[in-house]
Amino acid sequence: MSFNKALNDEEVYSEMKKMLAFIKNEALEKAREIKVKADEEFNIEKAKLVRQEAINIDAAFQRKVKQADVQRRIAQSNNINKSRMKLLLTRQDMLDRLFAETRDKLMETTNNPALYEKYLTDALVQAFFRLLESEVSIQFRKSDKATIERLLPEVKKRYEDATKESISFILLDDAGGVIVAGNGGRIKCNNTPEARLAIIEEDMLPDVRNMLFGQSPNRKFFN
Amino acid sequence: MVTNSNNGNVAEVPLAFVSNPYLDDLTAGLRARPIPWEGYQRATLITQTELNYIKAVDKKTGEDLSRVVDQEGQVYAELFISLLQKLVRVDTIQSILILIDDLLMDHEERATYFLTLANQDPALPYVPLLKCLRNEDEFVPLKASKILTTLLCASPKPNTDVAQDLFRWTTAQLQSNNHAVVDLGVQVLESALRQRDLRPIYWNTSHAMDVLVRILKTDIPTPQMQYQVIYCFWILTFDKEIAEGLNRKYDVIPTLVEIAKSAIKEKVIRVIVSTLRNLVEKAPEANLAAMAAVKLLSFTENLSARKWSDNDLLEDVNYLKVELEENFQTLTTFEVYEAELMSGRLTWSPPHLSDLFWTKNWREFKKDNYALLRVLARLLSTASDTVVLSVAASDIGQYVKRDSGGKKFLQDIGVKQRIMELMSHPDQEVRYNSVNASWSLIGGGARV
């Protein structure tokens, strides 16, 4: 700028004001550009952080869901085990009581002579057939001695349909019944009520169930 | 939102940064004029209470105004807007607008008083202001636009319908013969487009982009106007969709580079480089090819060697340089050629002269029903630049040499005819190239 004359104070002041306003505007324009850039960067950063946190929250949630699921399954499993255990215990308990009662009853039945005689006869014959020996020894109660001797001929006759036999006596302290042994005492057939009860306890539980509860209505195959 | 942490006298950047001397002069003139508010009260246009409120703030500014307004800002907002709704006389509307603008001046946080009016009535505060945009008076729409911009900028979720109306208005203003009005319109946009949600609205408002582009391309803008318009482009390009479409639809990259080459003011170059940077960052596939076509890389090398007072500018230039260099290798020559062709600025760049290029790429011209050939044909018919004509003619010739089947098509769309015409063109190079092309078109053998 060149002037024809020097500016007076007023004009200087006005020029300065104009320059100041101009500088201020230029600065405001640049400041605005900086602000815009900052805003945009902020928005990008914010979006990134939000996205990241959303992913984190999702992952944490999935973990929690899985955890809850695992816990549910553990509880379920525990409950099933508990009920099974309870079932088994109750069952066992019932069987124990059943057989204990039966064993007690056994003591009584040997006091019925007619029944007991029949029992002894059949038990002896069954044992002979079981052993299929020509020579057997019979263990029995002292108190049964007379009964046994009386029954021997009949028993022997029944068995004679199959093979010959010989008999020897051995004393016994049981609840009754007979233990018959052959081949010099090496093979034994224990036909006492206790032993028979034991066999029932071990191997014949399905038949016990049948006696107590009858056939299962769902059963289809009976071979 | 603007926080007012004014320690000392450092000014905060206003949301609606409008510094337009024309508007200021009009305002000053109107401010000096006396308004007979008492008269209106007697004529029951306004109530006594309203009169008292007005008198409390009339002709006051700065500290005095704050004292009154800080007590009852909400009441004043409601008062002014309701007055705008019911008063019809132009001078009253002008005064109310001035009062509102004074209220918001340097205290844009007071915009919330206006925005909360929407809770009572969803039409407020915008509808009365939008009405002002269509007022016949010269001052009213201009002032109202500034206020609207402030409100839109202060709003966390700006009302997009209102914005659309505003943009339609600015689109009209940008076509005015009055430079001051155009200037105000652009400044309104500079502020409004800072709201990210409004950028796609503007992009989709019909002719809105056209008028902006036109200012740069056809009018002869002052550096300040250049800065302002390009600043608008810059904030628009933060939006990915706009960054992808801007050059394709409006071919701005060559214009921007041209302006940058001849610009004297640093801030013009600064804002151009920032815009180019956004185009590369947000939409490289759409823009890198076009940039390579105008040889932006060598220009950035030139720019990086100069002394700048602004470090950010240097940073942006270097970013551009690095990106262009990296992608230069991967840009196929064909993409560059296509960008050049679509921009209409054909020059004797390597693809045109390389036989290998044509042998490799001639099939591309057949695609889309000879799309590229049609573009070439259009350029041949419409271009006046001799270089463009020469290059186009040469390209046609090169194509035909490899695809004699295309001759019939070219004849059908009148290219053959046009090339014959060009053989008698005043420019020697045009003649030379069209003769060669004709030779190939007719079915001649080796090139002369």
Q: What is the pLDDT of residue B285?
A: 79
Q: In chain B, pLDDT over 90 holds for what percent of residues? A: 11
Q: Which residue of A has its CA nearest to B227?
A: A29
ipTM computed for the complex: 0.73
- Nearest by CB to A36, from B11, B14, B235: name it: B235
Q: What is the pLDDT of residue B6?
A: 44
Residues of B within 8 A of A35 (CB-CB) are: 13
**Top-tier CATH class for B345-442:** mainly alpha
- Answer yes or no: is pLDDT of A157 > 80: no
Q: What is the pLDDT of residue B5?
A: 46
* B194 at A interface, C-beta within 8 A: yes
> If we measure between CA atoms, which residue out of A172, A163, A175 comes closest to residue A104?
A175
Q: Which residue of B has its CA nearest to A32?
A: B13
Out of A6-15, A166-175, A200-209, B394-403, pick the least confident.
A166-175
- Nearest by CB to A28, from B13, B274, B312: name it: B13
**B326-352 pLDDT, tens digit each:** 777 666 677 777 888 887 777 777 677
- Nearest by CB to B19, from A25, A30, A36: name it: A25
Pick the CATH number of B1-206 from 3.40.50.2300, 1.25.10.10, 3.10.20.80, 3.40.1160.10: 1.25.10.10
Q: Which residue of B has its CA nearest to A24?
A: B11
* A43 at B interface, C-beta within 8 A: yes
- Answer yes or no: is pLDDT of A108 > 80: no
A141 or A208: which carries more pLDDT confidence?
A208
**Coil, strand or helix at A169:** strand
Which of the residues B198, B227, B238 would you substitute to probe the A interface, choosing the one with the greatest number of A C-beta atoms within 10 Å? B238
CA–CA separation, B319 vs B300, rounded Å? Answer: 9
B349 or A40: which carries more pLDDT confidence?
A40
- For chain A, give every domain's residue range: 105-212
* B76 at A interface, C-beta within 8 A: no
Same fold, B1-206 and B345-442: no
Cis peptide before B426 (omega within 30 of 0): no
Strand partners for A168: A137
* A71 at B interface, C-beta within 8 A: no
- For chain B, give every domain's residue range: 1-206, 345-442
Q: B397-401 contacts: CB < 8 A, separation 24 or more?
A: B397/B433, B397/B436, B397/B437, B397/B439, B397/B440, B397/B441, B397/B447, B398/B352, B398/B355, B398/B358, B398/B362, B398/B440, B399/B358, B399/B362, B399/B365, B399/B373, B400/B437, B400/B440, B400/B441, B401/B358, B401/B440, B401/B447
Residues of A within 8 A of B196 (CB-CB) are: 43
**B363-382 pLDDT, tens digit each:** 777 777 778 888 888 888 88
A70 or A129: which carries more pLDDT confidence?
A70
* A32 at B interface, C-beta within 8 A: yes
Residue pair B394/B432 in contact (Cβ under 8 Å)? The answer is no
Q: What is the pLDDT of residue B448?
A: 43
**Top-tier CATH class for A105-212:** alpha beta
In the sheet that holds A178-182, the strands lie side by side as A166-172, A135-141, A178-182, A187-191
Q: In chain B, pLDDT over 70 holds for what percent of residues? A: 94
Chain A closest-CA separation from residue B157 CA (Å): 15
Q: Which residue of A has its CA nearest to B238?
A: A40
